[in-house]
Structures are given as structure tokens and as C-alpha cells.
Amino acid sequence: MKMDILKNTIKEIENQGINATLSNVVITRFGPWTLSYVRYDDGELGCGCANNEAERWGIPEDASFMKDLLNLNAYDVIDKLDSLENSAFINSLRTSITSALSYRLMNDGNELKKEGYDAEAYYAPTTALLDPTRFVKTRDKVAIVGFPSWAIHLYAEVANEVRVTELMDLKQLSVIDFDADEDSNVKIFPADKNKEVLSKADVVYLTGDTVVNGTINELLEYSKNARLRIIYGPSSAFYPKVLFERGVDVSLPIIFPNTPEFKRRFALSRGYWYFMRDVKQMLIKRRG
């Protein structure tokens, strides 16, 4: 799995003078998420999350090796993770720690604005960032990598055609409706059709999980002719400079609060963070 976007992002964050130690990691299988915390030099906490794909690949039965990495410099921890065997779980740790280090730059959007980005923040639950009319025209062909159950109906109502590619067994996304009387403009394809689907799209949405599973570079190549390429979700909540350099036009990350109360609720729900208080949805794009 190529993780060069994360490696280059880490360099950018380090160049910003940000330094921190790894404070804690919360791992859930039901979610399935990896939530990492770092403590900056001034004592403030940063947090970041990434999908660990436990439902597909599992996570180690014994994750106690992470305990030995707590309270170490976060950059040293990432170097250590880079030396381990590539897996979705290890990549979720890399991604979530990168987002945790980015927290200070991302949380309120002010630092991003100083660097020339447009940034908007909304508290979830809200449909402000889900409204496809901000990006999608009625004649557009929309491609979405990763089935967005929470928003697919919105895209179906606006776009001419919506094509989704998904890694999971497509039988899990099948519907039995005895009263259906019209064909849907939403079609779902297996992930091996990514090139065919993305190359013909006007607007492409990429789940941040493509960073974790290492497919984002090839997906950006497949979608190079699209008018807009948009990345979304918690797994994309890291400093976006490198993403934009690679061709992403808009980032729609989810930013979690760094409070003990949120961590408690996250753990109690086994990672079901959806609709929790103080979760932010952001819209970030380059100015101009």
C-alpha cells in the first residue's frame, strides 16, 4: 500500500513547527475506527480518526504493542509504524495520528484561512455539507467511491446519474422492493470497475478510507478528467496541502472534539460517533 500522501503530509506538519507525543489510542471493531490522541508541547490535545477496516481484515487480537508507543514523540511513533508490515490496521494508526497532529491546523479553520484556504465549519448533524447542489449540476454524472448510505438519496435527486463503487460484497447493498415501479439512477459496481466508472464522471467523491487502504493515488489518476474531485469523511481529516497538490479540489473532513466526554461516548458506543454532539463537518478548498 502506497502511503506517500501521508508521509509528505507529515513533513508539511513538521515544517509547521508542530510537535507532540502520542497520548492515547482508542480502537473499536464495531465502528470500526481507530481514534488517536496526541499531546502538544503546550499540553493541548489533538485527536484524529481513521477507519481500520476491521470488518474486512480484522485487527490484531493483541494490540498491546501500542502501549509501548504511548508518550513517545508522535513522529517517532509514525517512523516505527512505517517499519511494520503494511496492513489496514497499521495504516489506520498512521492516518489517525497524522490527523491528530493536524488537529491544531484543522479544528477551527482559522489556520487554514491564514494559509490561503477557504474553510467552513458546521456542527453535525447538519445537511449543509451534504447538499450536492453546491458541487453537482443536474446533467452531471457523479461517481462515489464508498457507498454513502447517509447521503446517497440526496445525490440521486440532483444528478443525472450516480455510480458507486464499493469493496464490500454487493449482495449486502441489494434491496428487495415489491412495489418499485421505476429504474433507479443509482448503480453500484464492484471496486474492480473503479477505472471505468471514475474516468467517465464529472464529479467524483472519494471516501477518506482510500487513504487507509492505499488506493487513493490510482483513484486520483482514474478521475483526472473530472471537473471536481472531493474527498470526505473522518479518515481525510489531516492537513490537506498534499491532497490538493495531488488533484483533490475539495476536502470534506469530519473533525472530532478533543474532550474526555466525547472519548467516553465514543468508547461506550463502540465507535458509533454519528450524530454525536460537537462533531464538526468542514468544507476546505483552495482560494481562487
Residue pair 136/151 in contact (Cβ under 8 Å)? The answer is: no
Total tally of structural domains belonging to the chain? 2
Among 56, 54, 47, 57, which residue's Cα sits nearest to residue 26?
47
Q: What is the mean pLDDT of residues 59-78?
A: 90
Domain-ending residue, one of 110, 135, 160: 110
Q: Which of these ranges, 95-109, 112-126, 229-243, has the smallest mean pLDDT? A: 112-126
**Is residue 21 domain-resident?**
yes
Range with the largest mean pLDDT of 4-18, 47-61, 109-123, 168-182: 4-18
Asked whether residue 78 is domain-assigned, the answer is yes
Q: Which residue has the higher pLDDT, 2 or 25?
A: 25
Residues 105 and 169 in one domain: no
**pLDDT of 173 higher than 70:** yes
Helices (H), the chain: 4-15, 54-57, 74-82, 88-106, 110-114, 152-158, 194-198, 209-212, 216-222, 241-245, 260-268
- Asked if 75 and 91 sit in the same domain, the reply is yes
Is the domain of 154 the same as that of 104? no
Cα 46 to Cα 3, 144, 192, 193, distances in angstroms: 22, 30, 36, 37
- In this predicted model, what pLDDT tens digit does every residue of 177-186 receive, in sequence order? 888 767 889 9
182 and 93 in a common domain: no
CATH of the domain at 35: 3.30.390
CB proximity list for 210: less than 8 A, separation 6 or greater: 145, 146, 216, 219, 231
86 with 12, same domain: the answer is yes
* Domain-embedded: residue 260: no
Q: How many residues does the chain have?
A: 288
Does residue 87 share a domain with residue 134? no
For residue 187, what are the β-bridge partners?
A: 163
Q: Are residues 59 and 128 in the same domain?
A: no
Its domain, for residue 151, covers 117-255+276-286
Whole-angstrom CA distances from 246 to 151, 174, 221, 263 are 26, 34, 9, 33
| Cα distances (Å, whole numbers) of residue 275 to 3, 125, 127, 272 | 30, 5, 12, 9
Q: What share of the chain is helix, strand, coil (3-state, %, to 5)?
A: 35, 25, 40
> Which residue from 10, 206, 229, 217 is spatially nearest to 99, judged by alpha carbons?
10
CB 163 within 8 A of CB 143: yes
The confidence score (pLDDT) of residue 125 equals: 60
The mean of the pLDDT values for the chain is 91
Let me know if residue 271 belongs to a domain. no
Q: Which of 110, 128, 146 is the last residue of a domain?
A: 110
Q: Same domain, yes or no, for 165 and 56?
A: no
Q: What predicted TM-score, i.e. pTM, was given to this entire model?
A: 0.93
Q: What is the pLDDT of residues 82-102, one digit of tens each?
A: 998 888 899 999 999 999 999
Are 195 and 134 in contact by the 8 Å Cβ rule? The answer is no
Per-residue buried b or exposed e for 233-270, using 16+ beta carbons within 10 Å of the residue's own CB? bbbbbbbbbbbbebebbbbbbbbbbbeeebbebbeeee
CATH of the domain at 246: 3.40.50.11590
Structure confidence at residue 3 (pLDDT): 66
Q: What is the C-alpha separation between 164 and 152, in angstroms, rounded?
A: 9
- Among residues 86, 110, 134, which one ends one of the domains? 110
Residue 263 lies in a domain: no
Q: What is the pLDDT of residues 31-44, one digit of tens each?
A: 899 999 999 999 99
Task: Give the ranges where 159-240 is alpha helix by DSSP (H).
Answer: 194-198, 209-212, 216-222
Within a domain: residue 268?
A: no
Nearest to 115 by CA among 232, 288, 287: 287
Same domain flag for 105 and 191: no
DSSP 8-state assignment for residue 285: E
Whether the CA torsion 209, 211, 213, 215 is positive or negative: it is positive
* 9 inside domain: yes
Q: Is residue 266 part of a domain?
A: no
pLDDT digits (tens, 9 = 90+) for 272-281: 998 888 999 8
Residue 161 and residue 48 share a domain = no
140 and 239 part of one domain: yes
Q: Mark whether 234 and 190 lie in a shared domain.
A: yes
